[in-house]
Structure 1
Amino acid sequence: MGSVKRRLRRSLKRAGDATAGALAVGLLRSLHRVPFDTLANGAGWFMRAIGPLFRENRIARAQLTAAFPEKSPAEIERILSGVWDNLGRMGAEFAHLDRLWDWDAEHPERPSRIELAQPTIDRFVNLLNDGKPALIFAAHLGNWELPAICAATYKLDSAVLYRRPNIKALDDWITQTRATHMGEIISTSLDAPVKIADALTRGAHVGMLVDQYYVRGVEVTFFGRKTNANPLLARLARHFNCPIHGTRIVRLPGNRFRAELTDEIQPARDANGEIDIAGTMQAITNVIEGWVREHPEQWLWLHRRWR
């Protein structure tokens, strides 16, 4: 009887996941037909309205209060509202991934949703032409999907590490969408390190998000508090001796974005000259903290960064 119940539960879960996946994919395809500005503004408003009802709002408020003890409760609430607004706009932007990157390298004077400063352009061109692999880190800030679209648009050999959704239909749609507009994508499965190593060996530029808590990570300090960071990027840098850069997409008024690529981040080294894993992850975490301090309303405070 017990085995029958288990099989029934598994069957019901598969049916429920399939239904939820079909609905989600259908919704995303429908949203693709809605004018982008209308959709983004509406999604931002909607999430500002309902976000405070979720328990993640309490998590975010507690983390913001600890990170910014100098800010008043009213300032914390203003930032929280921006966090939900950013998340809503991210959802809208995901349905329009194929339309967002409209910057024309041959005619940079033309109106565009994307703003690029010359130093970032120069650094990107160098990555494009130097014939070497590189590691590119990002954070859940602004629109964190756009850097991969930029790389694919200008034919930069790249691979992006991402986490699969649990619902297969949604995962299939996202995989197809990302593969079309973002180049190679590598899911966080057991064989991910091997695929990443293969990409770096051929000279690709591997991007990954590095700002979430990682149980088996190395200890770093973020906003004055201890937490854990995934050491994979630093270990890859040590093994492949390749440069490290950071990238972020800052949200601007009017549904526009500013794309930034940092100078090479110098890794920390031990007494033998080898890359120090924990020290390098601290250097990267320092960059991310600076980004978040600059635009706290655009970072994903809903995730428990400290445990």
Structure 2
Amino acid sequence: MQYKLVMFMSRVCCCLPHGLLMAAGRVLGNLYYLLIKKQRERAVAQMMPALGVSETEARKLVKESFVNLARNVLEILYMPALTKENFSKYVEIDHLERMQAAIAEGKGVVVLTGHIGTWEWLSAAFTMNDLPVTAIAKPQPNIQYTNALDDLRKTINVQIFSRGTSELMAAARALKAGKILGFLADQDGGPGGALIDFLGKPAATPMGPAVFARKFHAPVLPAFIIRQPNGRHKVIIKEVMRYKDTGDPDKDLYDFTVEMTRILESVIRENPTQWLWFQKRWNTAPEQMKSGKHHTSLSKEEKA
């Protein structure tokens, strides 16, 4: 039932002008901000110390972040309407040549990104330019929503591998085959992650991007999609990053993850209304972290 509802909503969205969807997104975002107290208060509480802003300023920024989220949802539903012919109407890409050069190396590309802007459209920016895109994503609590979302992603030719499952081995093979493998690296990394300061507070940080880059000698490209004041999106592809092997894998993986975390932080600080402030980014307490080598958590995938 939920699957059919999502797909019906998608068909409706695809029949509407994009500008009308964005206007509806502002209305829905403001309603969400007013009605969903738990997420609103968590977002405000997490933003204030992270950005060093007052409660008044935090509430203003969080409200805009809810508007951005509502627009994101509507744009995800709108994805079947995207084509190579109309995509440039909505999105411009800065330094696409960096991605093309990295793909040309033949070792696949690890894309470092986060829940910033309409992140699903970041994949479209590459597939619309004939680049092979895969990504690792956390399944939704409801399998029907997961299936609907995956089917919407298929309309922009993106293959998804479920985080925390045996599908990570297939993700490793995709990277090995020279494809783009995207990581949303701004989520809680759980007890097996690395304890790294994130926006001023220790957080369990996923090490997947560093592990895959090390194993497959793949370049890492930080890439983000940012909603512009004029309503369009801008894809920003930063300079290539590479895993540095000093002979100490544990330290090297940790240091590389710290380097990537700093990039994520800087993008969030520059675009505070475009990140999901209510997500449970600091959910794993430091005392819950596992001890031992940082690079052992994905050893099965390394064998793929």
- Unaligned runs of at least 5 residues, structure 2: 284-304
Secondary structure at the counterpart of residue 213 of structure 1 = coil
Q: TM-score, normalised by structure 2?
A: 0.84
Q: Give the 5 Å matches for 1:1-307.
A: 19-54=1-36, 55-69=38-52, 71-100=53-82, 112-117=89-94, 120-215=95-190, 216-267=192-243, 269-272=245-248, 276-307=252-283
Q: Residue type of the partner of 1:135?
A: V
For the residues of structure 2 that align with 1:101 and 1:67, how far apart are their CA atoms? 38
TM-aligned CA distance change 1:225 to 1:28, over 3 Å = same
Q: TM-score, normalised by structure 1?
A: 0.84
Conservation of the 8 A alpha-carbon contact between 1:83 and 1:299: yes
Q: Residue type of the partner of 1:209?
A: L
For the residues of structure 1 that align with 2:17 and 2:102, how far apart are their CA atoms? 34
Over alpha carbons, which structure has the higher Rg?
1
Q: Structure 1 residue runs of 4+, over 6 Å off? A: none
For the residues of structure 2 that align with 1:262 and 1:103, how far apart are their CA atoms? 26
Secondary structure at the counterpart of residue 124 of structure 1 = helix
Q: Residue type of the partner of 2:172?
A: A
Deviations 1:227-248 (A, max 9, x none): 0111111111111111111110
For the residues of structure 2 that align with 1:305 and 1:273, how far apart are their CA atoms? 26
- Unaligned runs of at least 5 residues, structure 1: 1-18, 106-110
Q: Residue type of the partner of 1:292?
A: I
Q: Residue type of the partner of 1:196?
A: A
For the residues of structure 2 that align with 1:285 and 1:200, how far apart are their CA atoms? 21
Q: Residue type of the partner of 1:25?
A: M
Q: CA deviation at 1:160?
A: 1.2
For the residues of structure 2 that align with 1:86 and 1:103, how far apart are their CA atoms? 25
Conservation of the 8 A alpha-carbon contact between 1:269 and 1:279: no
For the residues of structure 1 that align with 2:3 and 2:85, how far apart are their CA atoms? 33
Q: CA deviation at 1:102?
A: 5.6
Q: CA deviation at 1:128?
A: 4.1
Q: Is 186-195 or 83-92 further displaced after alignment?
A: 186-195
Conservation of the 8 A alpha-carbon contact between 1:186 and 1:196: yes
Q: Residue type of the partner of 2:62?
A: L
Q: Is 79-88 or 44-53 further displaced after alignment?
A: 44-53
For the residues of structure 2 that align with 1:164 and 1:260, how far apart are their CA atoms? 26
Conservation of the 8 A alpha-carbon contact between 2:115 and 2:186: yes
For the residues of structure 1 that align with 2:262 and 2:57, how far apart are their CA atoms? 23
Taking only the aligned residue pairs, the percentage that are identical comes to: 22
For the residues of structure 2 that align with 1:230 and 1:281, how far apart are their CA atoms? 8
Secondary structure at the counterpart of residue 89 of structure 2 = coil
Q: Residue type of the partner of 2:268?
A: V
Q: CA deviation at 1:32?
A: 2.2
Q: CA deviation at 1:83?
A: 0.8
Q: Residue type of the partner of 2:184?
A: L
Structure 1 equivalent of residue 286 of structure 2 = none
Conservation of the 8 A alpha-carbon contact between 2:107 and 2:217: no
Q: Residue type of the partner of 1:246?
A: P
For the residues of structure 2 that align with 1:127 and 1:269, how far apart are their CA atoms? 19
For the residues of structure 1 that align with 2:149 and 2:55, how far apart are their CA atoms? 38
Structure 1 equivalent of residue 287 of structure 2 = none
